[in-house]
């Protein structure tokens, strides 16, 4: 009987060649067979009216093109997380471990921890505990007030005694002042003891309730941690070499040493695990979003996205061992040195036109960078050189200082936002307003660097003014004037539904990959630190 998870293509794919190497999951262009498989999955989920409400909120799906033992080509499908409160659905591969199985240890222990949590909540809301806590808190405040008031009386009395001692006094008068001081000090000590005794009594009344609550919380924390570790151990992943490791082993070398919540539940690991267990040869993989974009992230229905590094990086790097995988295209060094055009230069500074694909500063991969090239050309230059940066995928003007004092002066202009920048970009879609302001605070997506997310609570302010230059077909040529300089600010502000909802053409992180990212830093205006002259440099993009 044929495997119900292995789907034959509805169309004739005999003329479509299989890829020579497997997909590099963190940066890829979907193979035509993956596009076809994704279309079939999308048609299937569109027919599931019972899932419509949930899927409208958005979910990541994945497809894996595979060959069976006879060389037949088909595909597997998966979703990230769970769907309709279940991990098991006929059309999709099962999870690596089903933590939602009703008779499994996870659900049972989760139910007991939940019951414990309800008891803790009840204890914290009990009238006896609340009354005891309030009485203790009130007594603490009253004690502090009374002691402070008596201290103030003692202070004023001391000032009166000091004033009297400046006058002639008899021995009896001087002795009376000493006795008054001693009495007040003793009285303060008695007041302290009285309040301490009252507070001790109230604390003794409160302690059994507090200890019960703290013990419950400690047990909840211990059991939750133990359950998480036991759960991680159940997620055991295979690779193409037949090796097996669990989540704890895979994340041990990472900076956090522990897996993040949800690790192992994404579509990509599910697909590879099922293929290995059923002797299906993986040939190509892709993941796409379906439904509305999340509030913080930028996801567009039907668009393909790379696997996240935070949750899936360590897992997939292990699972791909034994497969012939495409090279990371971002790690390939250009065969020829990229041209770094100088647009302005004097004895103090220069402005260069960075090509798309060149790093601003050296990264982990062995790639050419603006810093390295400038350092090679100007070995006598001092200081950090680069005053600001551009994303690797962005082309355009970069300001470079030859001296440390010039660098500091220019950075101060950036800090005080007196440097004016203009970027031009092609956007996928029509921006209906001619001009406006986007104000969406940003912060890093810690589980999927270098992506940024909109976070109105924790994000840093990010403000962009824009002006539409023209429309062509379903695209918009736009000018951006960023008032802040957050990472990926223009890319997120363009793509996010609360921004322009129109990704920059070629944006592999927030839109659809193309030959390049159509974003260019076109104009830079600043005040020259040595001459105090306003300098404005403009460089048109190399595309229309």
Task: Return d(Cα 463, Cα 482) in angstroms, integer.
Answer: 6
Residue 61 has pLDDT above 90, yes or no: yes
Residue 1 has pLDDT above 60, yes or no: no
pLDDT: is 88 or 368 the higher one? 88
Could you tell me which residues come within 8 angstroms of residue 226 by beta carbon, excluding any fewer than 6 positions away?
none
Give residue 254's pLDDT band: very low, low, confident or very high (50, 70, 90). Answer: confident
Give residue 446's pLDDT band: very low, low, confident or very high (50, 70, 90). Answer: confident
Residue 335 has pLDDT above 60, yes or no: no
Copy the structure tokens of residue 176: 């009376």
List the single range of 52-61, 153-162, 290-299, 430-439 with lowest mean pLDDT.
Answer: 290-299
Copy the structure tokens of residue 116: 């414990």
List the single range of 111-120, 192-201, 271-280, 508-517 with lowest mean pLDDT.
Answer: 508-517
How large is the C-alpha radius of gyration of the chain?
33
Give residue 41's Cα distance to chain centre: 29
Residue 512 has pLDDT above 90, yes or no: no
Q: Output DSSP code: residue 468.
A: E
Helix H or strand E encompassing 351: strand 349-354
List the single range of 36-45, 237-246, 307-316, 334-343 with lowest mean pLDDT.
Answer: 334-343
Give the model confidence (pLDDT) of 82-122 as tens digits. 999 999 999 999 999 998 887 789 889 999 999 999 999 99
391 is catalytic: yes
Q: What's the order of all strands across the beta sheet hosting 7-8? A: 7-8, 73-79, 59-67, 281-290
Residue 471 burial by Cβ neighbours in a 10 Å radius (0-12, 13-18, 19+): middle
Task: Return d(Cα 296, Cα 15) in angstroms, integer.
Answer: 41
Could you tell me which residues come within 8 angstroms of residue 331 by beta carbon, excluding any fewer than 6 positions away?
365, 366, 367
Is residue 480 within 8 A of residue 425, CB to CB? The reply is: yes
Residue 72 has pLDDT above 50, yes or no: yes
CA dihedral sign of residues 66, 68, 73, 75: negative
pLDDT at 364: 64
Average pLDDT, integer, range 68-74: 92
pTM of the model: 0.72
Task: Return d(Cα 535, Cα 532) in angstroms, integer.
Answer: 9
Phi, psi (degrees; rounded to nearest 5) at 423: -115, 150
Is residue 73 within 8 A of residue 67, CB to CB? The reply is: yes
CA dihedral sign of residues 218, 223, 224, 230: positive
pLDDT at 3: 79
Task: Return d(Cα 179, Cα 187) in angstroms, integer.
Answer: 12
Task: Return d(Cα 357, Cα 353) in angstroms, integer.
Answer: 12
Give residue 246's pLDDT band: very low, low, confident or very high (50, 70, 90). Answer: very high
Average pLDDT, integer, range 273-277: 97
Angle at 330 between CA 325 and CA 336, to 5 degrees: 115
- DSSP per-residue letters across 103-132: TSHHHHHHHHHHHHHHHHHHHHH-HHHHHH
Name the active-site residue from 138, 200, 324, 391. 391
Residue 222 has pLDDT above 60, yes or no: yes
Q: What is the 3-state secondary structure (H, E, C) of 62-87?
A: EEEEEECCCCCEEEEEEECCCECCEC
Residue 530 has pLDDT above 90, yes or no: yes
pLDDT at 295: 82
Average pLDDT, integer, range 206-227: 96
What average pLDDT is seen over the chain?
A: 92
Copy the structure tokens of residue 232: 């991680």
Average pLDDT, integer, range 327-337: 58
Is residue 259 within 8 A of residue 250, CB to CB? The reply is: yes
pLDDT at 337: 46
Average pLDDT, integer, range 221-225: 94
Could you tell me which residues come within 8 angstroms of residue 360 by beta carbon, excluding any fewer than 6 positions away?
354, 369, 370, 371, 386, 389, 390, 391, 392, 398
Is residue 496 within 8 A of residue 480, CB to CB? The reply is: no
Residue that is written with structure tokens 């909540």 in the block: 121
């Amino acid at each position: 009987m044929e495997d119900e998870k292995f789907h034959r293509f509805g169309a004739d794919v005999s003329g479509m060649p299989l890829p020579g190497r497997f997909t590099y999951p963190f940066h890829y262009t979907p193979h035509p067979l993956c596009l076809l498989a994704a279309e079939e999955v999308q048609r299937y989920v569109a027919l599931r009216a019972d899932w419509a409400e949930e899927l409208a909120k958005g979910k990541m799906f994945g497809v894996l093109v595979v060959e069976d033992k006879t060389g037949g080509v088909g595909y597997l499908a998966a979703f990230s997380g769970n769907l309709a409160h279940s991990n098991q659905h006929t059309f999709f591969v099962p999870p690596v471990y089903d933590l939602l199985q009703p008779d499994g240890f996870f659900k049972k222990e989760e139910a007991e921890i939940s019951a414990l949590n309800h008891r803790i909540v009840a204890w914290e809301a009990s009238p006896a505990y609340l009354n005891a806590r309030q009485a203790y808190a009130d007594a603490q405040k009253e004690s502090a007030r009374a002691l402070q008031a008596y201290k103030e009386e003692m202070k004023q009395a001391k000032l009166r005694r000091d004033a009297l001692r400046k006058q002639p006094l008899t021995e009896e008068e001087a002795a009376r002042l000493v006795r008054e001081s001693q009495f007040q000090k003793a009285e303060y000590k008695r007041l302290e003891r009285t309040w301490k005794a009252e507070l001790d009594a109230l604390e003794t009344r409160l302690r059994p309730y507090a200890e019960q609550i703290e013990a419950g919380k400690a047990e909840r924390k211990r059991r939750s941690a133990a359950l998480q570790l036991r759960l991680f151990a159940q997620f055991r992943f295979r690779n193409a070499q037949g090796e097996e490791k669990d989540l704890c082993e895979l994340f041990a070398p990472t900076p956090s040493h522990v897996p993040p919540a949800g690790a192992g539940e994404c579509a990509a690991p599910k697909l590879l695990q099922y293929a290995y267990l059923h002797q299906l040869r993986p040939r190509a993989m892709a993941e796409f979003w379906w439904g509305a974009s999340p509030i913080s992230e930028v996801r567009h229905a039907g668009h393909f996205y790379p696997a996240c590094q935070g949750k899936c990086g360590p897992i997939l790097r292990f699972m791909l061992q034994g497969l012939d995988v495409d090279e990371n295209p971002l790690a390939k060094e250009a065969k020829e040195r990229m041209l770094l055009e100088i647009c302005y230069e004097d004895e103090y500074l220069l402005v260069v036109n960075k090509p798309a694909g060149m790093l601003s500063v050296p990264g982990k991969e062995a790639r050419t960078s603006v810093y390295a090239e400038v350092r090679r050309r100007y070995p006598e230059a001092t200081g950090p050189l680069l005053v600001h940066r551009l994303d690797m995928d962005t082309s355009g003007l970069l300001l470079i200082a030859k001296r440390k004092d010039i660098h500091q002066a220019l950075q101060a202009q950036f800090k005080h936002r007196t440097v004016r920048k203009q970027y031009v970009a092609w956007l996928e879609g029509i921006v209906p307003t001619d001009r406006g302001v986007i104000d969406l605070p940003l912060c890093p997506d810690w589980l999927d660097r270098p992506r940024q997310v909109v976070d109105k609570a924790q994000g840093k302010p990010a403000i962009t003014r824009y002006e539409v230059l023209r429309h062509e077909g379903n695209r918009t040529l736009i000018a951006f004037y960023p008032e802040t300089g957050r990472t990926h600010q223009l890319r997120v502000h363009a793509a996010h539904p609360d921004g322009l909802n129109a990704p920059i053409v070629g944006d592999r992180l927030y839109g659809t990959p193309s030959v390049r990212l159509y974003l260019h830093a076109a104009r830079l205006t600043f005040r020259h630190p040595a001459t105090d002259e306003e300098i404005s440099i403009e460089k048109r993009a190399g595309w229309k």
